[in-house]
Structure 1
Amino acid sequence: MDSFLVCRLRAKEENEIVSLIDQHALHERIRLEELWKGMLAVFDCIILSVLILKRALGIRDGHGWLRPGLVIPSLQVELPVDLLFQVSQFEEQFLRLGLQFSLNEKAMSVTHVPFVLKDKHLRDLDRNSLRNDISVFVQEAIQIFTEASAVAPIVPPIIMDWVATAACRGAIMFGDKIPEAEVGQFLTAGQRTSLPFQCAHGRPSMLPVAVLLPPSERCQVR
């Protein structure tokens, strides 16, 4: 039972609800939002051109841009000619997503990638794997740029998926116990997240099991 916390929750004037909280799932959500804050490079000054790009990327006001990570030496990523042409049309948008490069007739020479991609490959230092991820990232990003709809994702799925995976790997494991003195702080951190009822992958983090009636409505035991 160390994997769950039993809590009494109250929503405004409603009755209290006894819920089981999956501590791994809630910690995953906490870590997800902390990781995103570290991946974003927030600009203090917002000018008109930035606002236009935000709308094109589906990024709401108040969100930052993806922080870039330096690639040494630069990485050559070969792409089809038609895709290279599309890339050339969206250089500013890619810059806001942390991808910096120069183009030639056959490839893009990448000098910076979104920090989250660099972080993903720090341990294995597999440049071929990074090259493949950049290719996927570029294709997903172009799809976002060309759709430019109100429901478009903020960043390409490959980025979102890896951040969710990192959040999961660093969360408290099943069977581990949170020290009793830290439970209150843990629940408060979860309450402050944007979606405390979902883990990083969208699964529920808590399950209501009973509704507690007000004392006046409870049966009196004599």
Structure 2
Amino acid sequence: MKCPGQDTQYWGYGAIFEADCPECGTTVEFFKDDTMRTCKGCGKRLANPKLDFGCASYCQFADACLGSLPPELLAEKRNLIKDRVAVEVKKRCGKDFARIGRAARLAAHAEQIATREAGADLAVLLCGAYLAALSREEAREVLGAITAPEGLITEVTALLEGDTPDHKADANRMILEDARRIADEEDRCGGSPLDEAAFEEGLARRLKTAGAVDEARRVLVRP
């Protein structure tokens, strides 16, 4: 069985196009369903510049389509799963907008902290941040429902349960804990800003990462 997007009977204008090799400038011809092409000028393997990898997080043909992609593009498939997790969490929270808002804030803080800290795995971290709004059983159900890779399920489950034996997982855990502390402080303050002295004497001392201190100051401290 073939992915509908690869069936030539559905192709129209623009299904075949050209792009210049960024290494040598040679014109390379692409078909719309090509994931990679080899430049005849320099031999470099080029990813299709018009290929949208958004389908890779759910399509049953994704492994066949993307199996030849370089690691950095395969990593994008893994990262796309967090968006599906966010949607599923929102569905399960129903009209509990406070819980939905809390999950979104937790994920946003975690992502901002991760940009300032080395070693985090955003796919694992953000899935964990969104799923923290649910019970552990519900979290596993969500990951199973979206057919997340088994390795990702294992890592996210370990993050949520606090069982993080390696360095990268430990970085994820510290960032998620700090993001949770920031979200807790936001709830406690109810929108009222902190002054710098109160922040330094209180929350700043409880945060484990420098990136979290920066993020907390950005969202909580009076300018």
TM norm. shorter chain > 0.5 = no
Instruction: Using structure 1 for the length normalisation, give the TM-score.
Output: 0.26
Instruction: Using structure 2 for the length normalisation, give the TM-score.
Output: 0.26
Relative to total residues, which structure has the larger helix share, 1 or 2? 2
Relative to total residues, which structure has the larger strand share, 1 or 2? 1
